[in-house]
Amino acid sequence: MTRRHGAALLLTALLTLATACSSGGGGSEDGEVALRVGDQKGASIQQMMAAAGQLDGLTYKIKWSLFTSGPPILEAVNAGSVDFGSVGNTPPVFAAASKARIVIVGATESRVTGQAVVVPKGSALRTPAELKGRKVAVAKGSSAHYHLLSVLTRNGLTFDDIEPQYLQPADALTALTGGRVDAWATWEPYTAQAELDNGARILADGRGYTNGYGFQVTSKETLKDERRTAALKDFLSRYQRAVQWSNAHSAQWAAIWAKQTRLPGPVAERAVERRLSAIIPIDDSVIASEQQIADAFSGVGLIPGKVTIADFFDRRFNDLAAVAQQRK
């Protein structure tokens, strides 16, 4: 099997994880609430929650939709077709800059060793400074976008010094293995896949360059609906319990994840280990760290104007984080 064919099979398999996709409204037949949840290829929220038993006993329906990365999820939240999505640290900044009607209601903090700029097998590049003049693939507005910006900035470079290639993960992996880009800024499980399946090497991981925050996001419209807000709070609590279950049962979760996505076992195991996450409250330090990301993008003209990111946070569900921390 060729590497390109293997990558295509992986992304096709990931696509099958959405078992019930819909862009319909938040209500359903007989007046039952339907919560519309956006999942990411490679993130597998649905499968993680099912494995943790957190989709049992629901008093509302869930309509799942699958997206390539965080930015499209937030576009759907803003458009009113998704009520819940979990994304990295950067998509909310780009959404806020476009004045999207998003609200951040939950937070996690993950290890950052899987957030990486990788180079292909045999690459002569050894330091981030050597990215000057090179083609670098990255998903625009993703957590990898900020990681790349931070890597460049701290090594005396700017985006003008490279040739950014804005590609989603499937296309980026193909471009990397096909020699059409010199490096790729990405996240798990794609980092582990690039390393173990394609011989790529990490040029710079996230340590010292980025925070490990992930955010659970909804819309202003969803929070105006009392019944959907109640369903959202219940779902967020279940999501947090599933995250903690995956931490405590990492080997079991990696095996399930590998089977569902057709990821090779070692890839899933490495990705899970690097994605271990803590549930954290939304506090001033979290917001301040996100403001730094917003200011960095604004400062180099990658987003228009200044973003006050605090305006997009809502701490009403922080009690769930407190309960989660007590469960540890």
pLDDT value at residue 10:
39
pLDDT in tens, 202-245: 999 999 999 999 999 999 999 999 999 999 999 999 999 999 99
Residues of the chain with CATH 3.40.190.10: 20-110+212-327, 116-205
Q: Which of 236, 317, 232 is nearest to 60 (CA)?
A: 232
Q: The domain 20-110+212-327: what is its CATH number?
A: 3.40.190.10
Question: What's the pLDDT score for residue 30?
Answer: 55
Which pLDDT does position 31 carry in this prediction?
76
Longest dimension (CA), the chain: 62
Contacts of 249 (CB under 8 A, 6+ apart): none
The pLDDT tens digits for 155-165 are 999 999 999 99
Q: What does pTM read for this prediction?
A: 0.87
The hierarchical CATH code for the domain 116-205 is 3.40.190.10
Query: Other C-beta atoms within 10 Å of 116: how many?
Result: 31
pLDDT of residue 9: 38
Q: What is the pLDDT, as a whole number, of residue 326?
A: 87
List the one residue out of 196, 174, 186 whose CA is nearest residue 268.
196
Amino acid at position 100, single letter: A
pLDDT of residue 260: 83
- 3 state SS of 243: helix
For the chain, residues with pLDDT lower than 70 are: 1-30, 328
